[in-house]
Structure 1
Amino acid sequence: MKLEPSLLFDVATWIPDGRESVGEMVSAGRLTAGDAEDLALTEVPVSKDLSAPEMAVRAAARVLDGTGWDPTRIGLVAHGWTYHQGHDFWSPAHYIACRVGASEALPVGVQQMSNSGAAALAMAVEKLIADPGAEAALITTADRFSLPGFDRWSADYGVAYGDAGTATLLRRPGPDERPGALLLRALAFVTDASFEEMYRGRDPFSAAPLAHGGRVDVRRPKKAYLEMRGGIEEFRLGAVRCVDRVLRTALSDAGLETDDPRIVLVALPRLGDSVLDLMYRPVLDGTVRAEVLSLRESSGHLGAGDLSANAEHIACSGALKSGDIALVLGGGGGFTWSCAVLEAP
């Protein structure tokens, strides 16, 4: 998606106070020393009482308070998530729209695994492009990975899951609008849907949630998939190809070359080293001359929220000077990979 003009982009996160540390998990036998080294983090945030949508509302309040934007002027609320939102048959997007005061917005729920936040952002971009009457869009994400349904430490390979809510206010530049924290210059996606089987494996389709054992176990279908495919190599080659393509597409849409000196930061998803080494780092090595950020140390993987949380870190860090560019990479099972091009105004 090539954006001319760029869209103003303000983002906030809400992180709960609870924590679970890697050291505690190793001592308790819930995490091996080898897995702990691969994760390369110290702790993850844990919500003890708030549901995922409640965390999204708190993040949205922060971004609206920070911008002074009237929520009744929001045309779209797009909420992305990865795991259970607190009720079985319900629309969390409508709850968020109601709680933030976006009474006339269109609420939409987006589920695209860990790429849900980026997919929700794409819906917001398209809304603002297609609908001249839409002044702004609110994009939220939130996940809470709690027992008994989800063991954040052992459910997956190379990933520990943290709880958080994020919110992004996206809007057009205008004569009376103050500069946003960032400008969204481009947003690109590349999909290879042949890999959807990785999260299904040999499991049959079920009639109800958590029918295969009562707890989310991502390792079981992944192990079966690798057995059926004869190893990881097919996926590795496809993933590297897709990450390279989405990076180059985003840069092309933004009118940038890979060696443009304005590109100063590249943020990676908040995943373990084994996953980053499999598909992301091989693409960046020798391609983009920029500092590579891996911001997982005290958060782990925030489900649908990595892209937004990484963008907030970049905006608040002061690392970008006017005109500097940051790239934020993402992806989610299925698989779809994403890249956002952000500029300091």
Structure 2
Amino acid sequence: MRWEQVYLAGTGVWLADRTNAAEAVATGAYDAAEHAVNQIHSVSSAVADGPDDLSAPEMAVRAARTALRRSGPAAERVAAVFHSYLWFQGAELWPSAAYVAQHAVGSAVPAFDLLQQCNAGLAGLELAARQLCSRPVGEDEAVLLTTADRFAPPAFDRWRAERGMVYGDGGTALVLTSSPEAATARLLATATRVDNSLEGLARGAGFRSGPQDEPRPVDLGARAEEYFRAHRNMRAATLRTAEVAADSIRAALADADTPMERIDRVVLNATGHQRLTWQLEHQLGIEEKYSNWEFCREVGHLGAGDHFAGLNELLETGEVGAGDRVLLVGGGTGYSCTSAVVEITDPSGWSA
């Protein structure tokens, strides 16, 4: 989908203190072979009773306040809040988006929880763009998008939940607006592609009657193996997910009238080095230095927030300037992939 008059006004990130991966290997928390393959240096990890002991929604609020502060007039025009996450938000049967909205923009703004796993941030970006483009002509609005997760033990083991990934704690935020006033970037295009037949990769072979029946800590690798045994081999599923992602990337680039050679930076899901290298080499054909790898290896996989955090990092560090184009490629079990092309317009004034 090509977008006209949809802009990024501000981004924000809140991250916990880092835990060193090599130290986790030394204590037995992290597998040495996985560490060698993933090449993760550290991970954002909130510590109980520490200075960063926040719930996930509280992390989202802190990130949102930063994004809103950077958004200028758009901060006063927020007409909806979309909050995305993977894991427990601090209470069961509770709309965490309402908490984020209440503490970031007020009690009268509609707020919705979006659940599409690791692709939810970018999928929410596309939904927000649709909302902005449906407004009456001349009526400027904004949407606040947030993500947050805290992958706390003992129910979740960030080091061993999934091969090829280490999960990090943090909140991210992005303000999307219909007004170019004080905008930092322009959203050129998005494209979402899915294959719902792959949902079992994250579920396994059956169903549970409730959370109490779920093995703890969560073992996503075991669920995938269960699915492969019951339905199809690993190679077929891997090829299909790659096809869905490739189709999403092609469509977004085409709708943005942007060949891959025109892309200056790429932001991907924060996986380990082996996974990321495969996507860079075989799917995108670009060098590692144009990706968000150096940031990924310091903070880990932030659930649905990798893309907002990666774009925020590029802006805060000045690694992109006016006229640069950034390709963001999502991907979440289900399986869905959303790709987005963003053109930086005015990064001035961006600071950590």
How does the TM-score come out when normalised to structure 2? Answer: 0.90
1:227 Cα deviation after fit = 2.9
Judge conservation of contact 1:79–1:140 (CA < 8 Å) in 2: yes
Report the Cα distance in structure 2 between the residues aligned to 1:252 and 1:169, rounded to whole angstroms.
25
Residues 202-260 of structure 1: per-residue CA shift (max 9 Å, x gap): 2x322222522233211111112233355321022212212211111101111122333
- Counterpart residue number, 1:120: 124
Match of 1:238 in 2: 240
Read off the aligned partner of 1:155 and give its amino acid letter. A
Cα shift readout 1:258-291 (whole Å, capped 9, x = no counterpart): 333xx211122100134335555411127x9992
Of residues 140, 146, 153 in structure 2, which corresponds to 1:147? 153
The one of 196, 208, 222 aligned to 2:210: 208
Partner in structure 1 of residue 223 of structure 2: 221
Match of 1:264 in 2: 264
Q: Does 2:176 align with 1:170? A: yes
Residues in 1 aligned to 2:258 and 2:273: alpha-carbon distance in whole angstroms: 28
- Report SS of the residue matched to 1:332: coil
Equivalent pair of 2:65/2:104 in contact (CA under 8 Å): yes
The worse-fitting range, judged by mean Cα deviation, of 120-129 and 139-148 is 120-129
Counterpart-to-counterpart distance in 2, 1:279 and 1:231: 20
Aligned-pair CA distance for 1:136: 0.5
Q: Take 1:58 and 1:293, find their aligned partners in 2: how far apart are those partners?
A: 23
CA contact (8 A) 2:85 2:115 kept: yes
Question: 2:154 & 2:270 partners in 1: Cα distance?
Answer: 23
Distance 1:223 1:166, change over 3 A: same
Residue number in structure 1 paired with 2:199: 196
Quick one: distance in 2 between partners of 1:20 and 1:139? 27
Give secondary structure in 2 for the equivalent of 1:3.
Answer: coil
Alignment of 1:251 with 2:257, yes or no, is no
Please give the per-residue CA displacement for 1:91-111, whole angstroms capped at 9, x wherever unaligned.
111111110133332101001
CA distance in 2, matches of 1:113, 1:321: 30
C-alpha change, 1:259 and 1:289, in structure 2 (3 Å) is: farther
Residue pair 2:81, 2:109 contacting (<8 A) in 1 also? yes
SS of equivalent residue, structure 2 residue 254: helix
Q: Label 1:336 to 1:281 Cα distance change in 2 as closer, same or farther (>3 A).
A: farther
What is the CA–CA distance in structure 1 between the aligned matches of 2:170 and 2:73, rounded to whole Å?
Answer: 23
Question: In the alignment, what sits opposite 2:297?
Answer: 297
Aligned residue identity for 1:235: A
* Closer, same or farther: CA 209–71 of 1 in aligned 2, 3 Å: farther
Deviates more, 1:133-142 or 1:207-216: 207-216
CA distance in 2, matches of 1:323, 1:255: 14
AA aligned to 2:115 is Q
| Equivalent position SS for 1:220 | helix
Q: Do the aligned partners of 1:248 and 1:258 also contact (CA within 8 Å) in 2?
A: no
- Report the residue type matching 1:96 in the other structure: V
Query: Deviation of residue 42 (structure 1)?
Result: 1.1
Q: Which amino acid aligns with 1:82?
A: L
Q: Is the 8 A contact 1:325 1:344 kept in 2?
A: yes
Whether the 8 Å CA contact 1:56–1:140 is kept in 2: the answer is yes
Q: Specify every segment of 5 or more residues in structure 2 that has no aligned partner in the other structure, as ranges.
A: 48-52, 346-352
The alignment covers a number of residue pairs equal to 337
**CA shift for structure 1 position 121:** 1.5
Displacement after TM superposition at 1:20 (Å): 2.1
Superposition deviation, residue 173 in structure 1: 2.3
Distance 2:8 2:325 in 1: 14
- Aligned residue number for residue 185 of structure 1: 188
Counterpart Cα distance in 2 of 1:290 and 1:341 = 18
> Once superposed, what is the RMSD of the aligned Cα atoms?
2.0
Kept after mapping to 1: 8 A contact 2:82/2:146: yes
The answer as to whether partners of 1:236 and 1:278 remain within 8 angstroms in 2 is: no
- Greater per-residue strand proportion: 1
Indicate yes or no: 2:102 matched with 1:98.
yes
Task: Name the residue aligned to 1:63.
Answer: 67
Check 1:258–1:68 CA distance in 2 against 1; reply closer, same or farther (3 A cut): closer
User: What's the counterpart of residue 21 of structure 1?
Assistant: 20
Answer yes or no: is the 8 Å Cα contact 2:144–2:174 preserved in 1.
yes
Contact preservation (8 Å) 1:135, 1:172:
yes
Which residue does 2:340 correspond to in 1?
Answer: 340
Specify the code of the residue in structure 2 equivalent to 1:11.
Answer: T
Deviations 1:93-152 (A, max 9, x none): 111111013333210100111111112222211111112356111000000000111000
Q: Which residue of 2 aligns with 1:83?
A: 87
Quick one: percent identity of the two aligned structures?
33
SS at match of 1:109: strand
Q: Matched residues in 1 for 2:76 and 2:288: separation? A: 42
For residue 16 of structure 1, report the CA deviation from its aligned partner.
1.7
Return the letter of the residue paired with 1:23.
Answer: A
